């Protein structure tokens, strides 16, 4: 029997064809005849011997000719890991006998003297090589575990389909050989099948809203050659072809937890969203006012409690990269770019998937623990918590979380906005001044899309209040015969009073018309009064502003 096995091995060494699929034409051919790699022996033409032998084998199949590595491995770990991998075993342990760098490549069991090897470090794979995995496997896809419990727990995991080239070992464990065929490198990286469009990943991963739907899975965008190559590790040229590999690495991931391509969360996104492949979102984050994603590193976690997590902002707080798509929506519904993101309802409840855009904003701007009031937010009725400002029970509010209460004509609105029925987004005001969608960053304070001056005694111009004029008709505002307040021209144009001195742009708990006085400018009058009231057809102001006493002053409402 042993003689028969020996004949088979000899046939293996000397009759391997040079055709596609042959180990002879791969880097796993460590003989001096190797033409594909520079790590090879300087003293033997035998190929299979570096892994297999017919005599003196290790006590494991298939006729193993190597001793196990000497490492204790650091394993992959993550808060979203459904399995509990142990120390590598089975075929993975065999692979690591070379790739962990602890055993010399030329050191085989059936030969007392190890083969001399070229381009190695003391006979081992040099640490700078991509093929050197080392003993720290925390930056590699987990191996040597039973996937069944994870598949049963997570709806986004599945077993490979029957007869798929991706398969478990005989014990039902996921091993290196689940994805790699050590004898065949036709597809590169010894993969069992091409990972074009993440075909390999999708054999086990079925992420909600991703396959065939997400922009990251179907986009035909290519690198324009500017800046850095977003896909230096693949031969694929479009976002769709790279799919999962747009963001993730299965080996040597810099962002170890969740195997991200970099250790900085935002840089994963900016590898494409810097104008090189997709729109240049990155530049917005260097503007005067921004959601400062650079200020927080390693704080966000997908499993965090959005009501108690430490204050932070990252791209993935607002965007789910697996579910984002180009679907349009109308206010206040979430658009495709905000699909499957958690939120806080207007009543303060947590939800796993926001239905309305403002629910995503309220995760931070509707929770007191996250909010640090600035001087510009010193309003008579405190609305630092934006969820409080937008409450439908308030006297007035911009129609974000509910339809506005002014159901009878508001003649200062542009024709496309209907009083009492129109709805708007937070992002209709808060957004990039460059025209890109989303409140990433702006040259204007408060991440506003257009200029909205809040400094007292600012000279009036259409440009200074361009944000207001997106919806409001300037001519009607300053016409004393339209609207309910005939003195806009006197206050804003003549006395250079900003809109923000009298109006809260979000909402007012007690007063109509978003009235909520800025306490940096408006003070109690000499008898301590600070209020507004309507009596009959007149509106009365009790306050002091710009040195003028209102004890009270009134105007005729229309």
pLDDT value of position 55: 74
Contact at 8 Å (CB) between 250 and 259?
yes
User: Would you state the structure tokens that stand for residue 423, as one six-digit string?
Assistant: 């709805």
Q: What pLDDT does residue 69 have? A: 77
User: Which residues contact residue 19 at a Cβ distance below 8 angstroms, ignoring those fewer than 6 apart?
Assistant: none
Contacts of residue 2, defined as CB under 8 A and 6 or more positions apart, other chains included, come to: 54, 55
Q: Which residues pair with 238 in a beta bridge?
A: 222
Domain ranges of the chain: 315-523
CA distance 42 to 24: 16
- DSSP-based three-state secondary structure for 247: coil
User: What is the 3-state secondary structure of 136-189?
Assistant: ECCCCCCCCECCHHHHHHCCCECCCCCCCCCCCCCCCCECHHHHECCCCCCCCC
For the record, the structure tokens of 334 come out as 């979430």
Taking the C-alpha atoms of residue 187 and residue 358, their distance in angstroms, rounded to an integer, is: 46
pLDDT digits (tens), the chain, 558 positions: 444 444 444 444 433 443 345 899 999 999 999 989 999 999 999 999 999 988 766 667 788 999 887 789 999 999 999 998 999 999 999 999 999 999 999 999 988 899 999 999 999 999 999 999 999 999 999 999 999 999 999 999 999 999 999 999 999 999 999 999 999 999 999 999 999 999 999 999 999 999 999 999 999 999 999 989 999 999 999 999 999 999 999 999 999 999 999 999 999 999 999 999 999 999 999 999 999 999 999 999 999 999 999 999 999 999 999 999 999 999 999 999 999 999 999 999 999 999 999 999 999 999 877 666 665 568 888 888 899 999 999 999 999 999 988 765 567 888 888 877 889 999 999 999 999 999 999 999 999 999 999 999 999 999 999 999 999 998 888 888 877 788 999 999 999 999 999 999 999 999 999 999 999 999 999 999 999 999 999 999 999 999 999 999 999 987
Residue 17: predicted pLDDT: 41
Residue 555's SS3 state is strand
What is the number of other CB atoms lying within 10 angstroms of the CB of residue 270?
Answer: 24
Instruction: Tally Cβ neighbours within 10 Å of residue 368.
Output: 10
- Pull the structure tokens for residue 219: 């986009």
Q: Report residue 351 as tokens.
A: 């939800």
Reported pTM: 0.90
For residue 539, the cross-strand partners are 534, 555
Cα 214 from Cα 196, distance rounded (Å)? 16
Buried b (16+ CB within 10 A) or exposed e, 310-322: eebbbbbbbbbbb
What pLDDT was estimated at residue 20? 42
| Whole-angstrom distance, CA of residue 82 vs CA of residue 67 | 32
């Amino acid at each position: 029997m042993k003689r028969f096995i020996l004949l088979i091995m000899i046939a293996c060494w000397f009759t391997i064809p040079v055709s596609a699929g042959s180990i002879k034409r791969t880097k796993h051919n460590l003989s001096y005849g190797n033409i594909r790699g520079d790590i090879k022996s300087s003293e033997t033409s035998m190929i299979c011997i570096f892994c297999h032998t017919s005599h003196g084998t290790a006590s494991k199949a298939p006729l193993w000719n190597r001793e196990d590595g000497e490492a204790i491995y650091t394993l992959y770990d993550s808060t979203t890991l459904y399995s509990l991998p142990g120390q590598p075993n089975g075929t993975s342990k065999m692979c690591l006998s070379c790739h962990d760098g602890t055993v010399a490549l030329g050191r085989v069991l059936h030969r007392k003297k190890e083969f001399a090897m070229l381009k190695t470090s003391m006979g081992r794979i040099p640490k700078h090589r991509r093929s050197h995995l080392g003993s720290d496997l925390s930056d590699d896809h987990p191996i040597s575990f039973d996937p069944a419990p994870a598949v049963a727990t997570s709806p986004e995991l599945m077993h490979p389909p029957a007869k798929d080239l991706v398969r478990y070992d005989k014990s039902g464990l996921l091993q290196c050989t689940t994805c790699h065929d050590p004898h065949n490198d036709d597809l590169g990286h010894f993969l069992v099948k091409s990972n074009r469009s993440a075909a390999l990943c999708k054999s086990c991963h079925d992420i909600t809203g991703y396959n065939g739907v997400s922009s990251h899975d179907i986009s035909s965008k290519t690198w324009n050659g500017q800046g850095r190559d977003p896909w230096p590790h693949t031969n694929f040229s479009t976002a769709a072809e790279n799919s999962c590999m747009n963001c993730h690495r299965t080996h040597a991931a810099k962002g170890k937890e969740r195997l991200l391509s970099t250790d900085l969360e935002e840089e994963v996104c900016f590898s494409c969203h810097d104008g090189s492949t997709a729109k240049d979102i990155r530049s917005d984050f260097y503007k005067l006012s921004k959601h400062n994603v650079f200020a927080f590193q390693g704080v966000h976690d997908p499993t965090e409690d959005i009501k108690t997590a430490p204050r932070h902002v990252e791209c993935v707080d607002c965007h789910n990269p697996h579910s984002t798509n180009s679907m349009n929506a109308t206010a206040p519904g979430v658009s495709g770019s905000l699909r499957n993101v958690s939120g806080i309802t207007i009543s303060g409840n947590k939800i796993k998937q926001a239905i309305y855009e403002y629910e995503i904003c309220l995760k931070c701007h509707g929770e007191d623990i996250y909010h640090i009031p600035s001087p510009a937010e010193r309003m008579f009725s405190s609305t630092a918590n934006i969820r409080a400002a937008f409450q439908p029970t308030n006297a007035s509010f911009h129609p974000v979380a509910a339809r506005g209460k002014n159901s009878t004509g508001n003649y200062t609105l542009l024709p496309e906005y209907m009083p009492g029925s129109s709805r708007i987004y937070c992002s209709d005001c808060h957004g990039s001044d460059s025209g890109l969608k989303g409140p990433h960053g702006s040259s204007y304070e408060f991440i506003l899309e257009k200029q909205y001056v809040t400094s007292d005694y600012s000279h009036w111009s259409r440009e200074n209040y361009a944000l207001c004029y997106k919806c409001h008709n300037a001519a009607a505002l300053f016409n004393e015969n339209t609207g309910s307040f005939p003195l806009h021209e006197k206050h804003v144009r003549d006395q250079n009073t900003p809109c923000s001195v009298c109006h809260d742009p979000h909402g007012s708990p007690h007063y109509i018309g978003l009235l909520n006085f800025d306490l940096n400018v408006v003070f109690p009058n000499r008898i301590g009064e600070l209020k507004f009231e309507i009596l009959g057809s007149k509106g009365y102001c009790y306050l002091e502003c710009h040195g003028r006493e209102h004890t009270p002053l009134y105007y005729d409402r229309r």
